[in-house]
Amino acid sequence: MTPDNEVRFRACLDDVAAYKPGRPPARTDGRPTYKLSSNENPYPPLPGVLAAATEAAAQMNRYPDMGCVELLEALSARFGVPVSDLAVGTGSVALLYHLLQATVSEGDEVVYAWRSFEAYPIAVQLTGATSVQVPLTADARHDFKAMEAAITERTKVVLVCTPNNPTGPVVRRNELLAFLDVVPSNVLVVVDEAYREFVRETEVVDGVELYRERPNVLVLRTFSKAYGLAGFRVGYAIGHPEVVGAIRKCALPFGVSYVAQAAAIASLAVEEELLERVDALVVERARVVGALRAAGWDVPESETNFVWLELGDDTVKFAEAVQAEGVSVRPFPGDGVRVTIGESEANDLFLGVARAWRQ
């Protein structure tokens, strides 16, 4: 019991595990170090994007445009969706927090696959709602039959991560359509497509296509990964105006900085060049996956900028072995290790450890 003279917090905070960011690489005897623990884009900013952000920084004494008008208009033109169907936030994870704040509280349930994005359980728990985690299939995909069975009268939101972080596979169009056909229309289905630009599988679901016909679908995307703006925190949501309006009500005023807005707008203007970099990362992904499989690793299909190694009890030991080479990766103790596709020298250092591990 809390003594009378101590500050009182909401009970749902009691078991909230703090979000663990990917570790920076440890220094090793002057050799270069690499960070493959946060699914960041290894390319530095394009000059035009950097120039736009630098110019915007000169206005740091002013609040940014709270309505993000220019960025919303650019996104509207890019995706062919009305501005009323768009919201921007400080990363797509912020939009997820706002959305959950707008929809669920004590007594409500949020269904999602597990293992998936590590922010989901935290975001749900902070609202006081209950997470209902549905195990992935043996090949690390969403199990929609089991997710359907997990839906109850208390379910208000379902989170679908495609491609799935940290395992890599996508949700296919026919799978999600069949699922949406059985989900009650008053349950919101959030399609988290943070890695959408890295997908090459043709049967993949496209959340933006889907939302046009389904009022209970909300799409989350981000400038953090393919567009290389992780440090500026800009994500966007596409959904029907009632859903987007609820998100906007929960957003912090002036959240997305002027610098971030300028960089995002400039990135859309040079999208072709940025997506060429994504193509190069996809080629590198194929090289890494091929090398791992040749070394005897059973790697799930990755449609993202990372690969997943199921290591069970060896997870932490493996992560430490890679760290000893100056490369940080992301261990999920007892489960597996997620390794971002980064600079080829970094990928080679990781592959060296992975090959040796199998011998």
Residue among 91 and 255 whose Cβ is closer to ligand PLP: 91
Nearest to 211 by CA among 170, 172, 244: 244
Residue among 248 and 321 whose Cβ is closer to ligand PLP: 248
Q: How far is CA 261 from CA 37, 53, 221, in A?
A: 26, 8, 15
For ligand PLP, which residue of 224, 261, 267, 323 counts as binding (CB under 6 A)? Answer: 224
Window 160 to 199, contacts with ligand PLP (CB under 6 A): 161, 165, 192, 194
- Nearest-approach distance from CB 159 to ligand PLP, in angstroms: 9
Residue among 224 and 328 whose Cβ is closer to ligand PLP: 224
220 touches 211 (CB < 8 A)? no
- Nearest-approach distance from CB 234 to ligand PLP, in angstroms: 7
For residue 338, the cross-strand partners are: 308, 330
Question: Rule CB under 6 A: is residue 347 a binding residue for ligand PLP?
Answer: no
Q: At how many degrees (to 10) do helices 69-79 and 258-269 cross?
A: 30
Question: Rule CB under 6 A: is residue 121 a binding residue for ligand PLP?
Answer: no
Q: Which residue do the tokens 């379910």 mark? A: 155
Binding mask 68-87 for ligand PLP (x = CB under 6 A): --------------------
How far is the C-alpha of 351 from the C-alpha of 359, rounded, in Å? 13
For residue 132, the cross-strand partners are: 111
Cβ burial 284-309 (10 Å sphere, 16+ → b, else e): bbeebbebbeeeebebbbbbbbbbbb
- Write out the two tokens for 62: 């002013």
What count of Cα atoms within 13 Å lies in the side-chain half-sphere of residue 138?
A: 1
**Which residue has the closest beta carbon to ligand PLP?**
91
For ligand PLP, which residue of 52, 88, 93, 129 counts as binding (CB under 6 A)? Answer: 93
- Nearest-approach distance from CB 61 to ligand PLP, in angstroms: 27
- Nearest-approach distance from CB 207 to ligand PLP, in angstroms: 12
Q: How many helices (H) and strands (E) does the chain have?
A: 12, 12
Q: At how many degrees (to 10) do helices 258-269 and 271-294 cross?
A: 80
- Nearest-approach distance from CB 166 to ligand PLP, in angstroms: 8
For ligand PLP, which residue of 235, 239, 326, 331 counts as binding (CB under 6 A)? Answer: 235
Question: Rule CB under 6 A: is residue 25 a binding residue for ligand PLP?
Answer: no
Residue among 256 and 351 whose Cβ is closer to ligand PLP: 256
Question: Rule CB under 6 A: is residue 207 a binding residue for ligand PLP?
Answer: no
For ligand PLP, which residue of 146, 150, 210, 230 counts as binding (CB under 6 A)? Answer: 230
Which residues are at the interface with ligand PLP (CB under 6 A)?
Answer: 39, 91-93, 117, 161, 165, 192, 194, 222, 224, 230, 235
